[in-house]
Amino acid sequence: MGLINKSYIGWDRFNKSIINSHQDLETYRASYDMGSLDFYDRYIRRESWLYNKRILDLGCFVGGKTQLFSESGAKEVVGIDLSKRGIKIAKKYENEKLKYYRTSSTELKKEYKGYFDTIISFTVFEHIQKELLPTVIDDCYELLSKNGICIIVYNFFYDKYGAHVEHCIYHPFPQFLLQKKHYLEYCDKRLEEFHKKGLYGYFPLGYSYCKNTHNEDCYMELNRLMSFKFKKLLRESKFKKIEDFQYSRSEFVKLLFNTFPKSRLFESSHFYILYK
């Protein structure tokens, strides 16, 4: 189908990145998930959200970032996720300051209402069903202490990273260039090849891009909500102030997005800071 152009500059490096990204989850946790705090430093001072703070990592999966927060000056960190497979790995790294739970934000409120100074959620809200988004946003408000802040990193669906097909397709906008049926079938074929080699990574055995359904190991369904609609939900919440930063596109494309905020072509990923 020509989805992968092997004459593409850097193909060898790209092919290696595909294989590396599909190693076991421990490798995934140590490499990708435990990166650095530089990304957050672009938009907010550590004193505001990290140092000596009680932090909730909402949607922590294997808990690499959660551990990073704990080791970088947080007072206490809790990570929650619905993935049975992810939390099983995360719990190996628990200590007095770092705890993991397989639970929802709504259930967590029973024990931790008003407890956290900071809530971090990295590329999770695009996986939450549209009908549940207002509830989870409200949960975040209720879980925060007075003057707490919530940091949400929200990916947009219409590029390869937001659609989570970057392991299989290098095109930046597969949804625009290719028919959905064809590129998802291609991704399933590639995923099957990885699994036959014993390379599982983020996607468990039996996962299908075409079916794209939740299970106890992998919550990858995408609500496809564009950022301007997601921000509308944030504005309708109890949070008193919202700061919004576009981080994924060039300055020129950001300008086009601000001019045409409802255009899928100029959609951008966003870094939101919500103040209670």
pLDDT digits (tens, 9 = 90+) for 222-268: 898 999 999 999 999 999 999 999 998 889 988 998 899 888 888 88
Task: For residues 41 and 114, state if they share a domain.
Answer: yes
pTM here is 0.89
- Lowest model confidence (mean pLDDT) among 73-77, 136-140, 257-261: 257-261
Number of domains the chain is built from:
2
| Long-range CB contact pairs, 194-202, < 8 A, 24+ | 194/18, 194/19, 194/22, 194/167, 199/19, 199/22, 199/23, 200/22, 200/24, 200/25, 201/21, 201/22, 201/23, 201/24, 201/25, 201/27, 201/28, 201/167, 202/21, 202/22, 202/25, 202/28
Residue 163 lies in a domain: no
DSSP 95: B
In a domain, 166, yes or no: no
CATH of the domain at 260: 3.40.50.150
What is the Cβ-side half-sphere exposure of residue 73, based on CA atoms within 13 angstroms? 9
In one letter, which amino acid is 210?
C
Side chain identity at 95, as an amino acid letter? N
Determine the pLDDT at residue 19. Answer: 44
* Nearest partner of 53 among 73, 38, 79, judged by Cα: 73
Q: Same structural domain for residues 150 and 195?
A: no
Q: Is residue 162 part of a domain?
A: no
Which residue segment(s) compose the domain that 139 sits in?
Answer: 35-157+223-275
Does 123 lie in the same domain as 18?
Answer: no
pLDDT tens-digit series, residues 213-223: 667 788 788 89
Residues 29 and 39 in one domain: no
The residue whose two tokens read 């919500």 is 274
Same domain assignment for residues 6 and 21:
yes
